A and B are shown apart, each in its own frame.
Chain A
Amino acid sequence: MNPIKTSWHHIRRSPIQSFTALLLMTFSFILISVFAIITNGIVKTLNYFETKPEITIYLKDGLDNSAIENLKTELANYKNIKEVRFISKEKALEIYRQQNQGNADLTEMVTASILPASVEVTVSDPAVLEQIYQNYATRTDVVDEIIYQKDIINTLLDWTNTIRKGGLAITAIVLLVTFFAISSIIGMKTTNRKDEIKISRLLGASSWYVKKPFLFEGIFYGVLGSFVGSVLVFAAFIIKRQLINSFFTPIEFVPNDLNLYLIFLGAEIVLGSLIGFFASLIGVKRYIKF
């Protein structure tokens, strides 16, 4: 008897139980796939900030050109400096207007005079940022405020960790529920076929021979559920990619990389089949006594 054929026979013999198992698995993998895409987006966001080490020094009003030039020279003399860029009040207004395009209330009331001039420093080694921050935070004669991306990164890291932990906890709970649900469904199916199992064992079938079709059945739910769940989510994200990414510009929050989706899909199918296999193993073990 081909165990795969027998599994298929079992699936067809109890369609409602099979459908429930499949639905549970699909639902779990919908959540897992959503979590995978969001985590990937967060990691990208974090990388974006981490690979753009920057400090912005807002200047006091009324500084003359020579003071600004001195400051730029001082900053340029630090090690691992990539760029020192002066943003005048006028340039700051231009940037502000660009950022708030289409919102007349915000742009009409603001003039260049109320925006501070600033110096943006980009470095190749984030450690320098800390030195610059320490040295200029007390220079109240020229510095009004320093925005150091360390704070942004730390905040982002806090958010990321919370989302990661929360996501992992939700995924773990969902996987656990799915695991026990599949295990119970397979257990019920085993009970339905207990006479067949008993007869097969009396005829000398090894317990592995009896278990095999049930294990294949569990793997079937795992593979199909994870495939359907992840493909549904990936398709939805790909369709809405531009809309989502527009919120995160310039970060590509939802990737457009087929290989990445295939890797996710492969990993989820492996995870699904493992869950299906072990859930079935436990389900069957409880009912094969002798």
Chain B
Amino acid sequence: MKIVFNNVDKNYGLINAIKDVTFTVDPGEFIFIVGPSGAGKSTILKLILNQIKPSNGVLTINDIDLKFGKKNNIDKIRQKIGVIFQDYQLIMDKSVEENIALSLDIIKFPKDKIIAKIDEVIKEVNLNSRRYLFPSQLSGGELQRAALARALAIEPEVIIADEPTGNLDMENSWNLVKLLKNINEKNGTTIIMTTHNQEIVDSLNKRKIEIREGNIISDSTNLPKIKKIKKKKKHEPNQN
């Protein structure tokens, strides 16, 4: 799934949440979007999820312009995106299993395979013992893993994680990030994650888009590639 922001602005009345934002997310990338509170990180994620529409500019996902896309196409795009929020956004009167089943039902996953799929993702996030509990009965780390299980169940092309470590202790934060990294490497799932946690960002050495007051001030798109090129040059035979 290719996501392209092209000179996108989003205004809330007189306030410019993001200004002239341009970047591209290629399939399989792992991207951190960092910046202080109110910088516009969540606005970018909301735009991708088409919760809000750009005020100016063009935002496309797989060449579909989200501003003018048909509702049906937007729904299909959302069905390919797994979402994890800081406040988990689980349905409180449904158990962990029912929350996951809902996301599978929405994507019209074969009914006879739903239970097996739930087994698989619950095991993957290590929530076996919490399967039949309601969100109010889970700890912060468990809630975040339940949200991740729901996102994983639909085998998404993209996972959007909005401050997923915001309510977690360091250990749980690391566990979650490791899980996301594995999913990205194993399945080629694109990960777009906003975070304040500089330690996590630095340790993973992934693409980092830094945003301040609605403007992108840095995009380390090419950093890993530059490193690779430099590394490669080291091992190249001397031409002289």
Contacts and interface: CB of A to CB of B under 8 A. Distances in A.
A202 B89 contact: yes
Interface string A202-218: 11111101000000000
A204 B51 CA distance: 11
A206 B75 contact: yes
Contacts of B64: none
Contacts of B101: 1
Contacts of B76: 204
Contacts of B92: 195
B197 to A, nearest CB: 23
Interface string B66-93: 0000011001111111010000011111
Interface bin, chain A:
10 to 19
Contacts of B103: 203
Interface residues of B, number: 27
Contacts of B179: none
B75 A202 contact: no
A200 B150 CA distance: 12
Interface in A263-290: 290
Given A1-B101, A1-B105, A200-B102, A205 B75 contact: yes
Nearest to A199: B89
Contact of B79 (A13, A204, A290): A204
B83 A202 contact: yes
Interface of B: 49-52, 71-72, 75-81, 83, 89-93, 101-103, 105-107, 150, 154
6 contacts: A1-B105, A200-B102, A203-B150, A204-B106, A206-B71, A206-B72
Given A203-B103, A203-B150, A209-B106, 16 more contacts: A1-B102, A1-B105, A196-B91, A199-B91, A200-B102, A201-B78, A202-B51, A202-B78, A204-B76, A205-B75, A205-B106, A206-B71, A206-B75, A207-B71, A290-B51, A290-B52
